[in-house]
Amino acid sequence: MQENFLVSVPSFKLSRNTYLLLIALIVAVIIIVPIIGWKNEIAIFVAFILAVIIYILLINMNNNNLVNSLPKTAYPVPPHLGLNGISIDNLVAGVQTVN
């Protein structure tokens, strides 16, 4: 009599957000348990808040450099007068001189 037993581990794929949420929860628990413990409901609340903060940090970490891709706001160069109509040459250290 031949018996074929096949033992396999079910595979499942987590989405990126679920993966980051689990990492945030684990890191929050690792930080909070040695400090406060699980003796009261405040520790659970603090761990939840810390997990949310860590999750926000994790989802915002990427390698996109969007700041440098913004258009130049000083192009074309401004005229020789400042915003208040006084020449920049006459504006010295916040003191306005009248010609």
Q: CA 10: distance to chain centroid?
A: 34
Question: pTM of whole model > 0.85?
Answer: no
Answer yes or no: are the C-beta atoms of 96 and 88 closer than 8 Å. no
Render pLDDT for 28-48 as a digit per residue (tens, 0 to 9). 999 998 988 888 889 999 999
Q: Is the dihedral of CA 36, 42, 43, 47 positive or negative?
A: negative
Q: CA 67: distance to chain centroid?
A: 14
Render pLDDT for 53-67 as a digit per residue (tens, 0 to 9). 999 999 888 766 666
| Distance (Å, whole) CA 73 – CA 77 | 9
Answer yes or no: are the C-beta atoms of 16 and 2 closer than 8 Å. no
